[in-house]
Structure 1
């Protein structure tokens, strides 16, 4: 296998686990890109950020240089891509971005019960597609990503999964990784691409540690931490498992956590040593007709900071749903967003977030977005996705600034509100 170019250069480690750094040498051809960590990838569906054209997307600043594409969406189009021959990036007309290829879409539900010792299944619009290692690697030759995750058995995130099934998941995933590495080493078409090993283990500490130790022995560039997604387990247990896993992983290789995007959970997982996240959360918020509306502005002026915290309390009150909200939205909404479909916004002529510099907040009001939503206008999704993407990327930038400038305690107070630092370890 060709020598790895990608390497994580840490500039600071805070409180033993928070890792501030830069992922350098990213890119299968020139290695010219770099990605600041902690950070997140750009979520796409078939290479396109939902609701946004490429021209609209590129009006946004400070986007991550890596876009995530999923085999679950691409696999059913393999024949077309094979005929095209020049890879998915050129096929989708992407520019100024690198590609990370994962198995599953983090914003979609993946049915369980279809993994075997020889295959994994992905789900596209046409239904289930079963992948052997041979088919999996053939797909990667067609897609030509800059890096990709290995095949894995990730069907053990439910708390009811037996220890025997979790052990089998770890064994299968390691076997898949060995087979993928062998195919990678013998395929000139994959030269220059990077492979991430997948750490499984459900909610069983011993299996998590075993999976991490064994995966770290393989010649992988980084690690995907799977089966820890939102809703799978309590945050305290997730933090414990991630911390234990990361003790077994090399410091100079990135750790990508799958399926976690909520800001408070991101903070806790970064504290446990995670470097990268999938960027699907803004899309989920947009699909709910909601706008991200949490405060992450770190200010050195203590009086100004108090005023900002008062604004957070006000927003928390605003976020309480009323009787007009669809019950499904109530179960899905988080404390970091406001539902613009609520009637109270029909006469609210303020921006989505005061002081936000995105196109939506500079040019439109909450009342207009409410109107677009209740009349089912497609422009609602466009404007919300612009704001939510900018706001979410701003959060990660603030997180890196907080780590660099000893302001982490301030950011925790802003993100967690009156809960202080209860969801993450106190300083």
Structure 2
């Protein structure tokens, strides 16, 4: 086992301590320290877009083992507004979550709200889906909003190109993302309280990704993310991008793969050297009556569960699995009872957090490549 301990960053409340690395892959175990606590990596982070992980209380989220959650700059700006959140004492106080928070910059909405926005060099103009008003989001405005919200980690404003897109279009978006990062760094007013992460773009083109990653190193940021994946491309095109990009990013900084939350994708990314993940999958599945169990997806509406009185997963410590049967969950989901969706969301978040905890333990014991071999194959 290689010991790759790094000295913490002395001048900042943020540090990443690399504790162990896998002897057969680039997989790594570390600790990311923030003003609101630590995040043991690799780790899955639940998404709380508007300041809430859908259907779950902060206490329930903490019970899943989650150590950091996400919120979204664009949506919180629309409702209730960053000024109100600041009056409440900041995002942690407002939503009752005392552990680390990361805010996305609004860059993903440049992709997801393509029919409601116009991209220019200065920034992006959105038409609000709420009331039709125009919202002009620039790199400077995104950072200003995030500084006001007060999350531990804030993201640079970027342009996320769609899939498929021509190489020229992707290259232009990647170059603009670099220029916007320069503006974000200059606009950031709270570097001692909030870590600004840069985002590597480049679409499905590994050479563009590598060049973008290398260019971002000049900024010496507290952390780096790989964005613009899981935007419609097949996994076999995503894996080479991550595997080419991750090792270029600094060893002593956290590496975050944005928008990823499936078993195989996380295992492959961790093997490439990724530390952090987020995705809406666990609560979205829960709201549709689907459970994530040991690598499988179960539709609890199915008749096979009607008289199945076993726990959903007998190895899972969550409240759902420790208290209720598959038959009861089947009944709740078929009756469209809110409790069923809450319980499945609770279990699903626990499942993905525990999955990354298992990987962390395997890296510590140098058995990651062996234990997770079924997820690491090429199929």
Q: Same fold (TM over 0.5)?
A: yes
Change (3 A) 1:207 1:87: same
1:353 pairs with 2:353: no
Aligned to 1:70: 72
CA distance in 1, matches of 2:366, 2:138: 48
CA 7–141 in structure 1, closer or farther in 2 if over 3 Å, else same:
closer
| Alpha-carbon distance in 1 for matches of 2:17, 2:128 | 37
2:85 is equivalent to residue 116 of structure 1: no
Distance 1:95 1:111 in 2: 28
Structure 1 unaligned residues grouped into runs of 5+: 295-334
Computed over aligned residues only, the root mean square deviation of the Cα atoms, in angstroms, reads: 2.6
Q: What is the CA distance between 1:190 and its match in structure 2?
A: 5.4
Cα 1:256–1:234, aligned 2, differ >3 Å: closer, same or farther? Answer: same
Match of 2:4 in 1: none
Cα deviation, residue 98, structure 1: 1.7
Q: What's the secondary structure of 2:316's corresponding residue? A: coil
Write the mapping of 1:20-419 to structure 2, written as runs, cut at 5 A. Answer: 20-24=29-33, 26-27=34-35, 33-58=37-62, 60=63, 62-64=65-67, 66-76=68-78, 77-78=80-81, 80-81=83-84, 84=87, 86-92=89-95, 94-104=96-106, 110-112=112-114, 114=117, 115-120=119-124, 126=130, 129-156=135-162, 158-159=163-164, 161-184=165-188, 187=189, 189=190, 191-229=192-230, 231-235=232-236, 237-294=237-294, 336-413=296-373, 416=375
Moved more, 345-354 or 130-139: 130-139
Q: Distance in 1 between matches of 2:110 and 2:60?
A: 24
Within 2, Cα distance between the matches of 1:56 and 1:220? 32
Partner Cα distance (1:86, 1:340) in 2: 41
Which structure has the higher relative contact order (CA within 8 Å, separation 6+)? 2
8 A Cα contact 1:230 1:260, kept in partner: no
Distance 1:395 1:53 in 2: 21
Deviation at 1:261, TM superposition (A): 0.7
CA contact (8 A) 1:38 1:274 kept: yes
- Check 1:285–1:393 CA distance in 2 against 1; reply closer, same or farther (3 A cut): same
Q: For residue 42 of structure 1, report the CA deviation from its aligned partner.
A: 2.9
Distance 1:61 1:35 in 2: 14
Deviations 1:272-307 (A, max 9, x none): 11111014331132123111111xxxxxxxxxxxxx
Q: In 2, Cα distance between the equivalents of 1:226 and 1:122?
A: 20
Sort the Cα spacing of 1:109 and 1:367 in 2 relative to 1 into closer, same or farther, 3 A: farther
- Give the secondary structure class of the aligned counterpart of 2:259: coil
* Separation in 2, partners of 1:121, 1:381: 36
Q: Distance in 2 between matches of 1:98 and 1:210?
A: 31
Quote the offset at 1:181 in angstroms. Answer: 0.7
Against the structure 1 CA distance between its residues 107 and 362, is the aligned structure 2 distance closer, same or farther, given a 3 Å change threshold?
A: farther
Offset, 1:79: 6.0
Point out the structure with max Rg over C-alpha: 1
Residue 252 to residue 190, structure 1, CA distance change in 2 (3 Å): closer
Q: Tell me if structure 2 keeps the 8 A contact 1:40–1:278.
A: yes
* Cα 1:206–1:135 shift into 2, 3 Å: same
- Displacement of 1:80 in angstroms is 4.9
How far residue 217 of structure 1 moved from its aligned partner, in angstroms, is 0.7
Distance (Å, rounded) in 2 between the aligned partners of 1:283 and 1:226: 21
- 2:105–2:155 contact (8 Å) kept in structure 1: yes
Aligned-residue offset at 1:168: 0.8
